[in-house]
Amino acid sequence: MTIKTRFAPSPTGYLHVGGARTALFSWLYAKKNQGNFVLRIEDTDLERSSQESVEAILEGMTWLGLAHDEGPFYQTQRFDRYKAVIQQLLDQGHAYYCSCTKERLDEMRDTQKQQKQKPRYDGRCRHGISDENIEKVIRFKNPEQGAIIINDLVKGAITIQNKELDDLIIARSDGSPTYNLTVVVDDMDMEISHVIRGDDHLNNTARQINILNALNAKPPQYAHLPMILGDDGARLSKRHGAVSVMQYRDDGFLPEALLNYLVRLGWSHGDQEVFSIKAMINLFDLKDVNVAASAFNSEKLLWLNHQYIMNSAPDTILKHFIWHLEQLKIDPSTGADPILMITAQRERCKTLVEMAEASRYFYQDFDQYDTKAAKKNFKADSEIVLQTLLDQFSNTKIWDGEVLHKIVLETAETMALKLGKVAQPLRVAVCGGSVSPSIDITLSLLGRDKVLNRIQNAIDYIKNLDK
């Protein structure tokens, strides 16, 4: 049997963290078993679905690197197929027309609640409708006896009695199909072998298995993932911060780091924390997915992102870093090689936003100094230190970090100053502030022209202070 999984989001918003984890687990299971991963857009909710949301989902999947083998398929392009299946269920006696009004249904549910019963359709139209002229929906005739046993790959065997399920609507009064019908037809037609989704779909699963049985189709195997909670223990929502996948990109996270974090939300392999994509595929197994809910920890994600920035090959980070430079209107061709910049900055920067901002002065000139840094390091005697360095740097024929560092050390020795009294005024002069990579790397990456010009600007600035 060919393993085939699917990710089937509704385009009513962005790709959120919960959806991304579902997509990841489905993708990993397919890849682990040399199967296919299907992307399906469930866009039958015409009022809430939008092309903007479709594009946001596709963008999120592309950024994460979760490439689909089949699709994307759109449910709105399959209405004729759904209509045919609905008619098949009617013809075979597995579905019926229902003319119950909204008012009657509301009254029925209110009565059931007052009697402390589970609200469910009472089957009034199951054996025929009273008024042919009224608008009608179509309901699936759910079996009244027996039980459905879901051999869930995460939660184990789950038994749901058919008497607990009512006759759900499979076609609205305008003829449009409902969610549970379209999902069943798609999973059947696309030969989905494994449905991996959130455990909020558990009640739908029993209903869908009954419809599949009525169509003489073999149900897929199901795996229901535990929900994701926020830091406060409540279900993850917008109020917990960035839950859109693309917001994490905008905040400077690497897609591999986010995937690594998401795979650990409900799955584990011993005490291992950091996994390459290849390792995730090799090690992932649904039997290792936790039954209990997982809590989203923003600090842990930030730590993991820093691990990836520090330990990944710079060329794998390059395109993401350049994207962030461009968001700051920085042209990477106007300064140091971005690969070298990543290497220089990765120990101190936990996000690519932080790295791009910390790299700004390597590409763009600045017109003012950090006030605190200038006040502390631009003293009267700093002018002499900077002038000495300017003369030395101007005369050196080799612009190399080691050579430049030696000049700084010799200047400190010659002037009988501590190294900080030389290196810090120099750092503020060339960077605008008191924080940068080591002074030799900083000078080397800035290049001769920028360094000489900025030291001269600092000397002029100090002279104006004296005046």
| pLDDT-derived band at 241, boundaries 50, 70, 90 | low
Whether the per-residue pLDDT at 467 is higher than 80: the answer is no
Distance of alpha carbon 236 from alpha carbon 242, whole angstroms: 10
Q: How far apart are CA 172 and CA 97, in angstroms?
A: 10
What mean pLDDT do residues 93-97 have?
95
Domain 79-225: CATH superfamily is HUPs (3.40.50.620)
- In 3-state terms, what secondary structure has residue 359? coil
> Tokens 């051999």 identify what position?
151
What pTM, to 2 d.p., does this model score? 0.91
Greatest Cα pair distance in the chain: 105
Q: What is the pLDDT of residue 361?
A: 96
- How far are the Cα atoms of 81, 288, 301, 340, 380 from residue 153, in angstroms, in the given order? 30, 10, 27, 47, 73
74-78, 233-237, 347-351, 412-416: the lowest-pLDDT one: 233-237
Model confidence band, residue 68 (pLDDT cutoffs 50, 70, 90): very high
CA angle 97, 125, 88 (to 5 degrees): 30
Tell me the average pLDDT of the chain: 93
User: Which of helix, strand or coil describes residue 150?
Assistant: strand
Task: Answer left, alpha or beta for residue 163, where phi above 0 means left and psi between -120 and 50 means alpha.
Answer: alpha
CA 340 to chain centroid: 28
Interval 356-382 mean pLDDT: 94
- φ, ψ of residue 264 to 5 degrees: the values are -85, -5
**pLDDT above 90 (res 56):** yes
Q: Which of 11, 126, 16, 7 is nearest to 67 (CA)?
A: 7
Confidence of residue 205 (pLDDT cuts 50, 70, 90): very high
Rounded mean pLDDT of 54-58?
A: 95
Calculate what percentage of the chain has a pLDDT beyond 90: 80
Q: What are phi and psi of 59, to 5 degrees?
A: -65, -45
Q: What is the DSSP pairing of strand 221-225 with strand 228-229? A: unpaired
Q: What is the mean pLDDT of residues 361-370?
A: 95
Residues 6+ apart with CB under 8 A from 403: 396
Question: How far apart, in whole angstroms, are the C-alpha atoms of residue 138 and residue 146?
Answer: 23
Question: How far apart are the C-alpha atoms of 49 and 9, rounded to whole Å?
Answer: 11
In tens, the pLDDT along 5-46 reads 999 999 998 999 999 999 999 999 999 999 999 999 999 888
Least confident interval from 30-34, 107-111, 323-327: 107-111
Residue 368 CA to its chain's centroid (Å): 38
Quote the pLDDT of residue 101.
81
Is 90 exceeded by the pLDDT of residue 106? no
Q: How far apart are CA 268 and CA 290, in angstroms?
A: 8
| Average pLDDT of the residues in 113-122 | 84
**For the chain, what is the radius of gyration of the CA atoms?**
32
Tell me if residue 223 falls in helix, strand or coil: strand
pLDDT at 85 over 70: yes
CB atoms within 10 A of CB 21: 25
Task: Calculate mean pLDDT across residues 120-131.
Answer: 79
Confidence of residue 134 (pLDDT cuts 50, 70, 90): confident
pLDDT on residue 130:
60
Q: What is the pLDDT of residues 281-302, one digit of tens each?
A: 999 999 999 999 989 999 999 9
What pLDDT was estimated at residue 131? Answer: 66
Enumerate residues 6+ apart whose C-beta is below 8 A from 233. Answer: 295
Residue 308 near residue 260, CB atoms below 8 Å? yes
Strand, coil or helix: what is 418? coil
Percentage above 70 pLDDT, the chain = 97
Give the 3-state secondary structure of residue 173: coil
Arch. (CATH architecture) of 238-312: Orthogonal Bundle (1.10)
| pLDDT value at residue 158 | 95
Q: Is the peptide bond before 314 cis (omega within 30 degrees of 0)?
A: no
Q: In this model, does residue 4 exceed pLDDT 80?
A: yes
The residues near 412 (Cβ < 8 Å, ≥ 6 apart) are: 418, 419, 421, 422, 423
Q: Look at strands 147-152 and 156-161 and give their pairing.
A: antiparallel
Collapsed DSSP state (helix, strand, coil) of residue 400: coil
* Per-residue pLDDT at 142: 95
Strand runs labelled E in 70-120: 70-74, 95-98
Range from 174-188, 239-253, 319-333 carrying the lowest mean pLDDT: 239-253
* Between 236 and 364, the higher pLDDT residue: 364
Q: Which residues contact 191 (CB under 8 A, 6 or more apart)?
A: 2, 4
In whole angstroms, what separates CA 195 from the centre of its chain? 20
The architecture in CATH of the region 366-467 reads Orthogonal Bundle (1.10)
- What integer pLDDT is reported at residue 126 of this predicted model? 85
Asked if the model's pLDDT at residue 218 lies above 70, the reply is: yes
Whether pLDDT at 380 is above 90:
no
Reported as a pLDDT band with limits 50, 70 and 90, residue 133 is low
> Domain map of the chain by residue range?
79-225, 238-312, 313-364, 366-467
State the DSSP code for 115.
T
Q: Is the pLDDT of residue 211 over 70?
A: yes
pLDDT tens by residue, 405-415: 999 999 999 99
137-158 residue pLDDT tens: 999 999 999 999 999 999 999 9
Q: Is 271 exposed, middle or buried (0-12, 13-18, 19+ CB in 10 A)?
A: exposed
Token pair belonging to 160: 């749901």
